[in-house]
């Protein structure tokens, strides 16, 4: 199957009892057994649920993986992945990453004896100086949140293989429509399905996808033992959302390109961060590993005043001021006080998350309305 067929059909068959074309919501916690152990493949819904299984198979197929596992949120998926590690182990992570990921690493897992190093990964070779005998995992987000840096997945996977590290890519911003990290050598892909994958801002969920059976068995063990699984209704919503992933992503990318170019030429704007620009430091890598450049854009305002950023985000009509991203509706956010508030000011400023930075999640509305909205809001400055 090609990608646009997989989104609609992978992991899904018409219901054998009724012929229902949509995967039913199996709202059940348990399943009848004829004699102990004699059942139809399901025993208890923490361990497995048919609606969730359909979604898990669909995700594995979209990422060209073999195994998919869903969790109650993106952070629950991250939590499960880090539980592959033991006290004393070390992780090398991108320094420009979602604030909640930084928080779970530093405020939760450091208490359990796991050590995290944060480094810009624009030049992969620089990572090697942090690798020692305790290093077990490499963690990358690409494009990064919110600076839209691009990390070379193939180069990192070569390093991870050389040093026998588990290489995890958070593919939330790109989705498998734009980028398939497992094909480029990553061991694990994780998602906040809450974003583009579900696509309609109506569900919170996460996922882990891999190819290796031993790794998958460990992840299933953690999923079942720790139990942070999503319910069948939410699994249904994500399955339904994914059916239009390719159509939505195409429009997110088209609108993104038009808006990035509009912002670049605006006299009140300083820098625009979008990997599609030829001047973007890793544009060539983006072209190599992504099929298009996505609908996430960040920019900062000339003079770098916090109040200016607040004025702009508070005066938009179609860009709703809200946490999150990747829904059909456009959103704007102020990372320094919202998504990245968990990262200390000194630390976030090193990566470019300055006070006037604004992050846009470009929706699939009519792009001329979006441009007019940005224009009128910037005129308030
Ligand atoms: C890149 C990235 N990874 C992970 C997460 C966490 O996902 P969730 O909010 O579904 O727990 C987010 C949430 O914003 C994100 O943007």
The closest residue, in CA terms, to atom 9 on ligand 1 is 74
The single residue listed with the structure tokens 């072209």 is: 287
Q: Which of 170, 187, 234, 292 is catalytic?
A: 170
Output the residue whose Cα is nearest ligand 1's atom 12. Answer: 192
Asked if residue 182 lies in contact with residue 189, where contact means CB atoms within 8 angstroms, the answer is: yes
Ligand 1 atom closest to 324 (CA) = 14
318 in active site: no
Q: What local confidence, expressed as pLDDT, does residue 344 receive?
A: 86
| Strands, E assignment, the chain | 67-71, 90-94, 115-119, 135-141, 166-170, 188-192, 206-210, 269-273, 296-301, 320-321, 331-333, 358-361
DSSP per-residue letters across 111-169:
GGT-EEEEE--SSGGGGGGG--TTEEEEEEESS-TTT-----HHHHHHHHHHTT-EEEE
Find out whether the beta carbon of 145 lies less than 6 Å from any atom of ligand 1. yes
> pLDDT for 284-311, tens place per residue?
999 999 999 999 999 999 999 999 999 9
The token pair at 304 is: 């770098």
User: Which residues does the chain have with pLDDT short of 70?
Assistant: none
User: Which distant-in-sequence residues (6+ apart) come within 8 Å of 46 by Cβ?
Assistant: 224, 227, 229
Cα(338)–Cα(360) distance, integer angstroms? 13
Task: Kindly list the distances between the CA atom of residue 27 and the CA atoms of 185, 235, 269, in Å, as whole numbers in the listed order.
Answer: 37, 11, 50
Contacts of 297 (CB under 8 A, 6+ apart): 148, 256, 259, 260, 263, 272, 273, 274, 359, 360, 362
Residue 342: per-residue pLDDT: 79
Mutate to test the pocket of ligand 1, among 70, 96, 98 (most ligand atoms within 8 A of CB): 98
Q: Is 95 in the pocket of ligand 1 (CB under 6 A)?
A: no
Q: Which of 52, 136, 195, 248 is catalytic?
A: 195
Residue 350 CB neighbour total at 10 angstroms = 14
Question: Distance, CA 322 to ligand 1 centroid (Å)?
Answer: 14
- What does the buried/exposed string (b/e) look like for 240-274 if buried means 16 or more CB atoms within 10 Å of the residue's CB? bbbbbbbebbebbbebbbebbebbeeeeebebbbb
pLDDT at residue number 186: 98
CB of 101 closer than 6 A to ligand 1? Answer: yes
Quote the pLDDT of residue 248.
Answer: 98
Residue whose structure tokens are 């300055």: 354
Ligand 1 center to residue 73 CA distance, Å? 8
Report the DSSP beta bridge partners of residue 331: 320, 361
What pLDDT is stored for residue 58 in this prediction?
Answer: 98
State if residue 282 touches ligand 1 by the CB under 6 angstroms criterion: no
Does 170 participate in catalysis according to the annotation?
A: yes
73 Cβ closer than 6 Å to some ligand 1 atom: yes
- Catalytic residue check, 98: yes
pTM > 0.85: yes
């Amino acid at each position: 199957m090609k990608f646009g067929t997989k989104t609609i059909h992978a992991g899904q068959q018409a219901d054998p009892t009724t012929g229902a074309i949509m995967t039913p919501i199996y709202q059940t916690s348990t399943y009848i057994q004829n004699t102990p152990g004699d059942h139809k493949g399901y025993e208890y819904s923490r361990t497995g649920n048919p609606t969730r299984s359909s979604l898990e198979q669909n995700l594995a197929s979209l990422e060209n993986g073999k195994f998919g596992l869903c969790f109650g949120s993106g952070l629950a998926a991250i939590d499960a992945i880090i539980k592959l590690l033991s006290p004393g182990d070390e992780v090398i992570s991108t320094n420009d990453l979602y604030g909640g990921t930084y928080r779970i690493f530093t405020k939760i897992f450091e208490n359990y004896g796991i050590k995290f190093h944060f480094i810009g990964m624009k030049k992969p070779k620089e990572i090697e100086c942090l690798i020692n005998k305790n290093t077990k995992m490499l963690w990358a987000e690409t494009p990064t949140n919110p600076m839209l840096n691009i990390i070379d997945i193939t180069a990192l996977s070569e390093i991870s293989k050389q040093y026998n590290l588990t290489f995890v890519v958070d593919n939330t911003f790109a989705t498998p429509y734009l980028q398939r990290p497992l094909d480029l050598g990553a061991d694990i892909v994780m998602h906040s399905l809450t974003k583009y994958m579900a696509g309609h801002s109506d569900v919170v969920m996460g996922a882990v996808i891999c190819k290796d059976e031993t790794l998958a068995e460990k992840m299933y063990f953690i999923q079942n033992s720790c139990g942070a699984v999503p319910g069948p209704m939410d699994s249904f919503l994500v399955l339904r959302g994914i059916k239009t992933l390719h159509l939505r992503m195409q429009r997110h990318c088209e609108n993104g390109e038009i808006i990035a170019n509009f912002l670049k030429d605006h006299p009140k704007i300083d820098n625009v961060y979008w990997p599609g620009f030829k001047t973007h430091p890793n544009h060539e890598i983006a072209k190599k590993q992504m099929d298009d450049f996505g609908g996430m854009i960040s920019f900062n305002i000339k003079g770098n005043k916090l109040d200016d950023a607040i004025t702009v985000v508070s005066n938009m009509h179609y860009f709703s001021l809200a946490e999150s991203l990747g829904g059909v509706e456009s959103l704007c956010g102020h990372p320094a006080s919202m998504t990245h508030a968990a990262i200390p000011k000194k630390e976030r400023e090193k990566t470019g998350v300055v006070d006037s930075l604004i992050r846009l999640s470009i929706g699939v509305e009519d792009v001329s309305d979006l441009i007019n909205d940005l224009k009128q809001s910037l005129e308030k400055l």
